[in-house]
Structure 1
Amino acid sequence: MTDPVSSENLLDNLSTAVLQLNDKMCIDYANHAAQALFERGFSLLAGCPIYQFVTPSSLDVERLKQSIQQGESYSDSEVNITFVDGRHTQADLSVTSIVDAQSQYLLLEFRQIEQQKKISQENHQWAQQQAAKELVRGLAHEIKNPLGGIRGAAQLLAKELPSNDLKEFTNVIIEQSDRLRNLVDRLLGPNVRPKFHWYNVHEVLEKVCTLVDLDPSHTISIVRDYDPSIPDVYLDQDMIQQATLNIVRNSVQALMQHPDIKGEIRIVTRIERRVIVHGARYPLCVKVSIVDNGPGIPNELKDTLFYPMVTTKKDGSGLGLSISQTLVGHHRGKIEVESWTGRTEFTLYLPIERKDPQK
């Protein structure tokens, strides 16, 4: 028989985050999943109060103290955990009181459910968005065909009219037909094939930052937080630049509507491991986060945010985010969004290929 695996090794291989707290609510132990959840190594967690890392509103302080004093255990489902750095996650929480050699401890188990909910929600939204795109594509073609006939008939009619005054009416028909045709083309999205090459993603993002910084209509600050270790990515530079620019401009416009807020947009790049994109698993992805401190996205728009013609701006076309998602989709990536009052975060995931994916 083989030797049994050590208890510590078993705990470190759990997907459940496990913390041990002493009677001072300080962390005595954290397995690997807990270190990943808190985004800190054990050396930075050990001996620190748990409320140094999560907000008191996330975990009921009095209930935890009561649990350790009275030796009670309890469980909570779908607990919203807010970290002091602004991150959010949702987890099922189990709290177990332990007495050992006259010392009292709490064992906290966090089973993250946010990822499973995200995958389910993503698949549902992706299916809806694909259905909406097919509907728009079908309607667009049905509109473009008669528009061409109307424009052609107006041109022929203009040649037969004796008066320039009358030709003004046919010119209006032609101009409006062209305007509708351009709108339909924008609804259909980019119709050119991507031109993939190896690029440093930060060079692409810097072009976006430069364009936004040069805009004199606002005083919003752009903060960069780049990971210089990210390797070159196989992408279409213009497409990713346009996708990112659409999102950043949306943030700028949202912040400009609230002059009482000192607007700030942070652009953060990191490496993300084991990312699932529309059912496919990628070992490595570039994660580009665009975070603003604006008013947040209205709840009623969150599920339809990437649909064409959905917008909160009076003069907006509602096509920017739809086009961004299409452009990122050409790279087998995805866009996620989280938003609440004071923080909106759009996250682009772009798979990192080890060889040209087109070959």
Structure 2
Amino acid sequence: MDLKHLFNNLVTAVMVIDVDLRLCYANSAAEQLLGIGSHRLTEHSLADNFQIIGISTELLSNALRDNQGLTVNTAPLVTLDNQHHTVDITFTPLEQEQGLGLLELRQVDQQRRIHQQLTLDAQQQAAQYLVRNLAHEIKNPLGGLRGAAQLLSRELHDPELNEFTDMIIEQADRLRNLVDRLLGPQRPSQHSLQNIHQVIQKVLKLVTMALPDNIKLKQDYDPSIPDINMDSEQLQQAVLNIVQNAIQALEYAHFDTEKQITIKTRTQHQVTIGTKRHKIVIALSIIDNGPGIKPELMDTLFYPMVTGRDQGSGLGLSISHNFARLHGGRIDCQSKPGETEFTILLPIQSK
């Protein structure tokens, strides 16, 4: 059995360190957790590969020298790219390999995120069911209202009165469009093999035409990401909704630094979406340096009709979440003042 292949399929980050706390080995989960490739990880000491970890390096050194194991639960971990995690740390000296120890970091925030996602999916489906039933009830009288306005318009010969019937028809059409968006697709459409960067470029082409001069777009792509089966129109709309939200959040914000939106693509390994674990997924992140999302909105952010803007419809993120779900994926959000990051996770099917 190939032990390296076995370790690379673990969800737990596994590293082997020596008495000088230099890394001799790191599996794929460790690379993913720390955001650093294994070659760079093994070129530096353990302390140089993160900002903060909830155990002192001196304690690890002593444990290795004394051949003693250690366990630290719910320890903070801050990576070099400023990602915050909570991990359980286990250190075990390797009896057969003198001077080497096995360091395991198991993310517990991942478990919390999975639980939150399952709860969100259940609550959102219940909310969508209620909204869809309400939308159907609205559609029937709305059609009658529009038809009656059209008949009335034909009987009227005064242009001033026709103006009012035209207004009724126009507003009925606007409401019908809103209802149609609420009743959007609930099942996968025809998918084809396409590249996610082509989808992103179409979105950027659309938003660039009306982008305010004080907002800059930055692209940070991983060109090695393979094509996936997708409905490009659905994913384009999902990305567009999030980018437009970022633009609107920045447009009226007041701060001194440059306003910036970053579109970043990476791959992540051993990611659980819902109840299914995927070997590798695409992580498409839209990051802005705006004021952030109000904490009280975070738990209901993807619900229909929930918005933090006075003029918002509350449908954009709900539609984006639904399109990601139809592709077997999910959308994560982290927000604080100065940085909001939406990440669309899409499974890459193994060949």
Which range, TM-score by smaller chain? 0.7 to 0.9
**1:261-272 to 2 correspondences below 5 Å:** 261-272=257-268
SS at match of 1:116: helix
Contact 2:23 2:46 in 1 (8 A): no
Aligned to 2:148: 153
Change (3 A) 1:139 1:214: same
Where do 1:72-83 residues align within 5 Å? 76-83=72-79
Secondary structure of 1:207's counterpart equals helix
Q: Which residue of 2 aligns with 1:277?
A: 273
Q: Residue 250 of structure 1 aligns with which residue?
A: 245
Q: Deviations over 1:194-229 (max 9, x none)?
A: 343222221221122223333342332222222222
Map Cα deviations across residues 162-221 of structure 1 (whole Å, 9 max, x no partner): 655444444443333222222212222258973432222212211222233333423322
Q: 1:291 aligns with which of 284, 287, 293?
A: 287
TM normalised by structure 2 equals: 0.80
- Which has the larger displacement, 80-89 or 168-177? 168-177
SS in 1 for 2:263: strand
Greater than 6 Å deviation, 4+ residue runs? 7-14, 20-24, 66-74, 103-107
Q: How many Å apart are 1:47 and its aligned residue?
A: 6.7
CA contact (8 A) 1:78 1:91 kept: yes
**Alpha carbons of 1:86 and 1:142: their partners in 2 closer, same or farther (altered >3 Å)?**
same
Name the residue aligned to 1:218: 213
Name the residue aligned to 1:325: 321
1:175 aligns with 2:159: no
Following superposition, the deviation at residue 74 of structure 1 comes to 6.9
Please report the RMSD computed on the Cα atoms of aligned residues, expressed in angstroms. Answer: 3.8
Indicate the residue corresponding to 1:230 in structure 2. 225
1:59 maps to 54
Answer with 1 or 2: which has the greater Rg. 1
| 2:175 counterpart of 1:202 | no
- 1:236 is matched by which residue type in structure 2? D
Confirm or deny: 8 A CA contact 1:68 1:106 kept in the other structure.
no
1:284-316 deviation per Cα after TM superposition (whole angstroms, max 9, x unaligned): 433222222333222211111111121112211
Partner amino acid for 2:331? I
Q: Answer whether contact 1:67 1:73 (CA < 8 A) is retained.
A: no
1:303 correspondence with 2:299: yes
Write the distance in 2 (CA, Å) between the matches of 1:41 and 1:158: 69
> Kindly tell me: are residues 178 and 43 of structure 1, through their superposed partners in 2, closer, same or farther at Cα, counting changes over 3 Å?
closer
Q: Are residues 93 and 193 of structure 1, via their aligned partners in 2, closer, same or farther at CA, if it must alter by over 3 Å?
A: closer
Aligned partners of 2:191 and 2:209: how far apart in 1? 28
| 1:125 and 2:120 are equivalent in the alignment | yes
Q: Which ranges in structure 1 are unaligned for 5 or more consecutive residues?
A: none
Whether the 8 Å contact between 2:188 and 2:327 is mirrored in structure 1 is no
State how far apart, in whole Å, the 2-side matches of 1:135 and 1:176 are: 23
Is contact 1:218-1:256 (8 Å) kept? Answer: no
- Whole-Å Cα distance in 2 between the matches of residues 206 and 85 of structure 1? 25
Partner of 1:184: 179
Q: Assess, with a 3 A threshold, how the Cα gap between structure 1 residues 213 and 28 changes in structure 2: closer, same or farther.
A: same
Do the aligned partners of residues 229 and 144 (structure 1) sit closer, same or farther apart at CA in structure 2, a change above 3 Å counting? Answer: same
Deviations 1:219-260 (A, max 9, x none): 322222222222222222222212111111211222223342
Which amino acid is the alignment partner of residue 211 of structure 1?
L
AA in 2 matched with 1:180: L
Answer whether contact 1:19 1:27 (CA < 8 A) is retained.
Answer: no
Match of 1:27 among 5, 22, 25: 22
Q: Which residue of 2 aligns with 1:140?
A: 135
SS at 2:328 equivalent:
coil
- The answer (yes or no) to whether the contact 2:55–2:75 under 8 Å persists in 1 is no
Larger relative contact order (C-alpha < 8 A, sep ≥ 6)? 2
- How far is the alpha carbon of 1:122 from its aligned partner? 1.0
Count of aligned positions: 344
**What is the distance in 1 between the residues matched to 2:267 and 2:246?**
23
Contact 2:70 2:91 (C-alpha < 8 Å) held by counterparts: yes
Larger mean CA deviation between 127-136 and 306-315 belongs to 306-315
Structure 1 200/165 Cα, relative in aligned 2: closer, same or farther at 3 Å?
closer
Distance 1:281 1:31, change over 3 A: closer
* Whole-angstrom distance in 1 between the partners of 2:186 and 2:4: 55
- Write the distance in 1 (CA, Å) between the matches of 2:268 and 2:60: 37
CA offset digits 1:15-62 (Å, max 9, x no partner): 5445577887x4355542544432445543347354433224x5365x
Distance in structure 1 (CA, Å) of the matches to 2:5 and 2:199 = 43
Asked if 1:241 corresponds to 2:236, the answer is yes
Q: 1:340 to 1:47 in 2, by over 3 A?
A: same
Q: Unaligned 5+ residue runs, structure 2?
A: none
> Does the 8 Å contact 1:275/1:283 carry over to 2?
yes
Task: Tell me if the contact between 1:68 and 1:105 (Cα under 8 Å) persists in the aligned partners.
Answer: no
